[in-house]
Amino acid sequence: MLKPDKHTNPVLSVINIAGLIIEQIRNDEIVNYDDLLSNLVNQTSESVKDIFLYSLSFLYLLDKIEYIPNLDALKLKT
């Protein structure tokens, strides 16, 4: 998944989508899950829906984002 091959679209890679997620959260501080997904679909394509959860998991495992359950939102960890 993280290691690219000749068929990998760099725009739809986990690392690129994770970067776009971080950029969006930096701009808005707290971002609703659905709003974040719709912004990423607008920036890239519908195919991002397949990679979105992998990118969120990647950032969560690196301890970069925090999920706020009562708001169904994400924010950067401080």
> What are the CA-CA distances from residue 31 to residues 26, 38, 43 (Å)?
9, 11, 16
- In the three-class reduction of DSSP (H, G, I as helix; E, B as strand; rest coil), residue 66 is classed as strand
Closest CA to 1 of 61, 46, 71: 61
Q: What is the pLDDT of residue 2?
A: 66
Burial of residue 12, with CB atoms counted within 10 A of its CB: 0-12 exposed, 13-18 middle, 19 or more buried:
middle
pLDDT for position 10: 87
pTM: 0.90
pLDDT at 1: 56
pLDDT at position 74 over 90: yes
Q: Helices 48-61 and 14-28, interaxial angle, to 10°?
A: 70
Domain residue ranges of the chain, discontinuous segments joined by +: 10-76
CATH numeric code, 10-76 = 1.10.10
pLDDT tens-digit readout, 8-52: 888 999 999 999 999 999 999 999 999 999 999 999 999 999 999
